[in-house]
A = this chain, B = another copy of it.
């Protein structure tokens, strides 16, 4: 079945900005609360949110095998369970409905009134209930930077790194969508030179610029997913900010990995951009530097050319560009990550989320975390207002943006916009 929704020549009858992240060739999926306080599944074209639950009730998905309530849910999990063929049919149909040559919906004002929302009329929700969340560590540049800071430069990469798409389990319950502010966490740290740990607010709050993919039901307990079938089970991608408290991390992480340093919050962009929409932006990843185990050897192009930007906005201040990086720098791709994750038979379900790890490129302006940008605070970053940042301060807002672009189209992810608040103070009883 062809992905007709990707036709770069198609135009929509909706009035949309020229350089939008969400042209009619994108058609991402998300969940939102409407002006009538109803939760529904929707898509976005330009600055319009489109209620797919209403479209379906009005019969616009006729002929596609969908249950009546598939879009009248508060998560995309069931729709994602329907599988790639259904996702594609729905996305192609949406493209047709909003094509400038199609007058069915365009000329029906009554239907348009219940289907279309402006962005200020809706509130984005988490798009999926995340069953399990895994974070990989797939940027060689990031792993090398962190390794040379915390170990030595000669042995920055651990011996397993070029053989294994290293990953670990994270916390699903604290993944939130854009525009949810996050309190600075408290915790134990061991200050430089101290003999006993101390307790208090983290002094080293950091972001990590990552991308995450969302899976469908992929396998049963015991069954590995072959690397060249892995993409069949990937629904789409979001941007992912893996908030980190570096001082807590340093004291707690040995020997079982990061825990409270990470699980206070992760923030995602609310619209899931489908793998179909990203198809035109396939690219090669880096050449493997070691012979790969056969379960990790793949054919074809499995990486994607996605531009990623991180900005910091102080309270009442301007946005400062901190980093410009690209998903294609990653050493390990999603197919390898999913094949590795399941080689032992670990089951993967609809709504699981797998993040890439911090995406850093080869030069300092492409580093994906403050830890690297300020080199552990040794080289604080100067903002336009003259102030310095080694890490993120209270009331700072971190904004991440991501988009693919070629000569004919731009497919974007929108943004993750997250403000850091001071530590939580419980109400006096």
A167 interfacial contact with B, CB 8 Å: yes
Distance in angstroms from A401 CB to nearest chain B CB is 24
Whether the pair A263, B344 counts as a contact (CB closer than 8 A) is yes
Complex: A224 Cα to B250 Cα, angstroms: 21
Whether the pair A174, B343 counts as a contact (CB closer than 8 A) is no
- Segment at the interface with B among A79-87, A254-262, A306-314, A389-397: A254-262
How many of chain A's residues have a CB under 8 angstroms from any CB in B?
Answer: 62
Complex: A349 Cα to B255 Cα, angstroms: 26
Whether the pair B160, A197 counts as a contact (CB closer than 8 A) is yes
Distance in angstroms from A404 CB to nearest chain B CB is 29
Complex: A315 Cα to B349 Cα, angstroms: 33
Q: Which residues on B sit within 8 Å (CB–CB) of A257?
A: 168-169, 253, 255-258
Q: Which residues on B sit within 8 Å (CB–CB) of A223?
A: 424, 426
Complex: A347 Cα to B164 Cα, angstroms: 31
Distance in angstroms from A350 CB to nearest chain B CB is 11
Q: Which residues on B sit within 8 Å (CB–CB) of A263?
A: 169, 344, 346
Q: Which residues on B sit within 8 Å (CB–CB) of A168?
A: 168-169, 256-257, 259
Q: Which residues of A contact B (CB under 8 A)?
A: 131-132, 137, 158-160, 163-164, 166-174, 176, 180, 182-183, 185-188, 190, 197, 199, 221-224, 245, 248, 251-260, 263-265, 293-295, 340-341, 343-349, 352, 424, 426
Q: Which residues on B sit within 8 Å (CB–CB) of A258?
A: 256-257
Distance in angstroms from A68 CB to nearest chain B CB is 21
